[in-house]
Structure 1
Amino acid sequence: MLSSGQRHAASGSQTTAGARAKALHSLAAPKSARPFTSKASAAPARRPVAAGALPHEPPGTSTEVRISPSQAPAVSAATGHQLIFSYHQLEVPATPPGIALVDVTPQIRELVAQAGLVEGSVNVLSRHTTTAVTINENEARLMDDVRQFLSQLAPASAPYLHNDLHLRPAPENWPGGWAAWAGQEPRNAHSHLLSMVLGNTLALPVSGGRLALGTWQSVLLVELDGPRPRTVGVQLTGWAAGGAVGNAATAAPARD
């Protein structure tokens, strides 16, 4: 016969074993069979993406992002194609005054065609500290909006330390000394700032012998301190059909 203490211990052991069995059963049960305990623990339902949803819809589960299937490589060394590295410069003899945008997409497409580039990339460089390069739609009224926006972002009339020419030394060995340098030096700090904001390089993919730009995308040189003569560096890299190789241009120094 069990004593009172022994019966109490056995009862407690059975209770503990029963609790453990119930917990294990709960874990093993499928999610659909588990009891709903808290609204906060329920995952939010995914909202389907409506047809024609606005592009500025907030990111999250409502915005679907897909990766398009990759295309098979179009070229290989076995087919006689050659890997090329070809540098060129685009020249703009005179840009419009002030802030202006110049579409250089046709010239870049022409370089791709001349080089026979089939698969690769094109690196575009703004070779000045008061110009920039960007990609956007080349539409006349939008270009006016861009000019007005940039003018408001960094007004030319605002005070800038860079424009205090009387506090800046002339470059060493400048012909005519400080006075000659100061007489030709523009007060263009706003142009330098906008150049840094917009950026000076672009990398454009080439696939199937064509620039992989979107329907309304153009490559734009952004003049921020015109009028001036400007140059844009363009380097083509990748597989060229039939081993076509473009002529490398000698890079000349570029003033800001």
Structure 2
Amino acid sequence: MLTRTLHLETSSDPVTDVTAEVRAFAANVGRSGLLHAFLPHATCGLALLETGAGSEPDLVTALNGLLPRDDRWQHSHGSPGHGADHVLPAFVSPSLVLPVDDGEIALGTWQSVVVVDTNVDNPRRTLRLSFLTGA
């Protein structure tokens, strides 16, 4: 299994497009198989999302409605509403598995791979990419 670890800064936006980095890893492998992307963090996740057409702010609006940033959370350390960040991975998985055909991730026309991170307390993230070659 081939693995690469990327270090990301997510403080500027709750939705960070990492499609180019994932594509570059798959292209470097140059084979067919499965690419696993994983964020080893308790407060962020990965998603497939159409970017650039307003879906990013729509996602943030939906998450803010589902996981309000107020004082209702039992997990109460950190910035106001930080408990919501710890619930986020139950809704936005910290991992994705993507098919790769001859070094190209098989995404749909409008799909992008994004990191979803509403946690303003920790903007430094690690994305682990692993590739398992097909038979």
Question: What is the rounded CA distance, in whole Å, between the counterparts of 2:16 and 2:10 in structure 1?
Answer: 11
CA contact (8 A) 1:195 1:224 kept: no
Determine helix, strand or coil for the equivalent of 2:91. Answer: helix
Q: Decide which structure has the larger Cα Rg and report it.
A: 1
Determine helix, strand or coil for the equivalent of 1:162. Answer: coil
Matched, 1:235 2:130: yes
TM-score between the two structures when normalised by the length of structure 1: 0.48
Match of 1:122 among 35, 42, 62: 35
Distance 1:129 1:152, change over 3 A: same
Distance 1:158 1:140, change over 3 A: farther
Matched, 1:210 2:104: yes
Give the CA deviation at 1:186: 4.3
Matched, 1:145 2:58: yes
Q: Deviations over 1:216-256 (max 9, x none)?
A: 001110012126111111101105xxxxxxxxxxxxxxxxx
The answer for unaligned runs of 5 or more in structure 2 is none
Question: What is the rounded CA distance, in whole Å, between the counterparts of 1:136 and 1:149 in structure 2?
Answer: 14
Question: What is the rounded CA distance, in whole Å, between the counterparts of 1:141 and 1:96 in structure 2?
Answer: 17
* Alignment map for 1:184-203 (pairs within 5 Å): 185-186=78-79, 188-203=82-97
Give the CA deviation at 1:150: 0.4
More strand by share: 2
Give the CA deviation at 1:142: 1.5
Count of residues paired in the alignment: 132
The answer for unaligned runs of 5 or more in structure 1 is 1-84, 166-184, 240-256
In the other structure, the counterpart of 1:88 is 4
TM-score between the two structures when normalised by the length of structure 2: 0.89
Determine helix, strand or coil for the equivalent of 1:220. Answer: strand
Q: Percent identity?
A: 27
Higher RCO (Cα < 8 Å, 6 or more apart): 2
CA contact (8 A) 2:38 2:96 kept: yes
Question: What is the rounded CA distance, in whole Å, between the counterparts of 2:89 and 2:52 in structure 1?
Answer: 21
**Cα RMSD, aligned residues only:** 1.7
CA contact (8 A) 1:95 1:230 kept: no
More helix by share: 1
Matched, 1:160 2:73: yes
CA contact (8 A) 2:9 2:125 kept: yes
